[in-house]
A and B are shown apart, each in its own frame.
Chain A
Amino acid sequence: MISLQDICHGYKTKDGFHTVLDHVNIDFKPGHSTAILGLNGVGKSTLIRIIGGAEHPRSGKVIRTSSVSWPVGFGGCFNGSLTGRENLRFVCRIYGADIKTVSSFVEDFSELGEYMDMPFNSYSSGMRAKLAFGLSLAVGFDFYLVDEAFSVGDVVFRKKATKALQKLKDQASLIFVSHSINSVKAHCDRGAVLNKGKLESFDNLNDAIKRYTEVCNERRH
């Protein structure tokens, strides 16, 4: 389980302090995949980074009793000047995973071919997502943080990823950020809506989508 308790976070800007997360509370239970919905720039990615431990909240507590992946997206958690393979080795070393098994899985899954030995900088966003997602599957986690990763992939990759995720469902759960209602519906059974620093969580995904649509409409008028 991952439990966020009273998380506050924000950034200093030119005209004072900008609050991104305002007393956020939520529990992620194993076996339930949660979609995080919200407009652009409300702090979904920040929330994901805090859940994963990439960023520390200004106040509040994150309790993790399950293993959590790094945020799998097209954003960089890899070193640009190193090749895909070198990045893979680094990740294996810090997670204590076996380099050989992981390599062969990722090569097979990501279909990067000779690009594995090219600098990560030279990858397209789709290739980045493939490597990041394949690698996270190979290492193995209880929770996967997925930040818009599939929106950049082509149909073939998306199909492959969906299949891999369905297979994982018994052992792993997702925390999923996406604007695509379709993919949210395909992968998640719960939802949470982030709006103006507040996070509302719903046990039923449809309620969350309804609330998200309301938020979108408020904006439009």
Chain B
Amino acid sequence: MRELWEGFTVQRRVILALMLRETHTIYGDAKLGYLWVLIQSMFGIGVFWAVREFVGASDPHGMPVAVFLILGFGVWSVISQSISKCMNAVRSNQALLTFPQVTELDVMIGRVMVIYVTQIIVTIALLAVASAMDLAVELNSAGLLYACIFLIPAFSLGMGLLLSSLAVFIPSLERIVPLVIRLLFFASGVFFSVNSFSKDIADILYLNPILHLVELTRCSISYSYPSDGLSLMYVTVITLIVLFLGLLLERYVRTRRER
């Protein structure tokens, strides 16, 4: 029991050190540093907002477009960035893995945490701005929001672990995954609502767990946003499966990586 506790303390120390290092290497060099993430996110959201305004699309289900896009991009960024960052985590941290207490798992947890915390800060900042502009930000279900906040990083980490481990056996995955991520960007409801599709297409889209996470997060923060067809149960089960398989495979692959 004591050894387990010591193991946890070491791992906590390692992950914290890795997180500090990651933030430093990603944002440390730029003069504005961390502020760039905010600018990048605002830009991404701004472009799609402008396009929607230009086309004259109405507010999706009574939710202001800005809030709709902030949440969509927030959730999407965590998941997509985590997957791509996990896939090259080992290569770009080879030197640090020389230290016995630093494992591949720590490096990936560290990366996902940095991305996650960053996006939470960005999303809160943007929502605060939206709310100050009198756009409706309404806490509909705190429980659902907590569930999403917990599920999103778990799902991201699971996918990151799973794909980066599989890439050891199938190196071409490193090329394919970014393509699939680009496709999924259009199929995850980031800048549209599923309900705007015909039933046939929506039924296919509902298979995508990322879409559930995006839409459920929106539901939790709006009174009027419809939750038809969404299932918290579905994403929870998928997340658990992905996380379980990811952790299992990462452990199996660890001794087989070419360093």
Contact = CB atoms under 8 A, between A and B. Distances in A.
A52 B98 CA distance: 8
Contact of B100 (A11, A12, A53, A76): A53
B25 A82 contact: yes
Contacts of A77: 95-96, 98-99
Considering residues A49, A57, A95, which has the most beta carbons from chain B within 10 angstroms of its beta carbon? A95
Given A76-B95, A93-B13, A96-B13, A11 B258 contact: yes
A58 interface: yes
A23 interface: no
Given A94-B14, A96-B13, A80 B95 contact: yes
Nearest to A57: B255
Contacts of B13: 93-94, 96
Nearest to B100: A53
Interface string A33-58: 00000000000000001001111111
Interface in B1-49: 9-10, 13-14, 16-17, 20-21, 24-25
Contact of B24 (A82, A91, A93, A95): A82
Interface in B118-147: none
B101 interface: yes
A58 to B, nearest CB: 6
A70 to B, nearest CB: 6
Contacts of B14: 93-94
A76 B98 CA distance: 8
Contacts of A52: 98, 100
A79 B98 contact: no
B52 to A, nearest CB: 40
Majority secondary structure, A binding face? loop
A55 B99 CA distance: 9
A48 B61 CA distance: 63
Contacts of A81: 25
Interface in A50-90: 52-58, 68, 70-71, 76-82, 86, 90
B254 interface: yes
Contact of B17 (A49, A76, A78, A90): A90
Considering residues A49, A56, A94, which has the most beta carbons from chain B within 10 angstroms of its beta carbon? A94
Contacts of B101: 94-95
B95 A54 contact: no
B175 interface: no
Contacts of A71: 98
Contacts of A80: 95
B181 interface: no
Nearest to A52: B100
A214 B17 CA distance: 47
B17 A54 contact: no
B20 A56 contact: no
Given A11-B258, A94-B14, A94-B17, A54 B24 contact: no
14 contacts: A11-B258, A12-B258, A52-B98, A54-B97, A56-B255, A77-B99, A79-B21, A79-B25, A79-B95, A86-B21, A91-B99, A93-B13, A94-B14, A94-B101
Given A77-B98, A79-B96, A93-B17, 9 more contacts: A11-B258, A12-B258, A70-B98, A70-B99, A77-B96, A82-B21, A82-B24, A90-B17, A96-B9
CB-CB nearest 9 A-B residue pairs: A53-B100, A93-B17, A77-B98, A56-B255, A54-B98, A76-B95, A94-B14, A94-B17, A90-B17
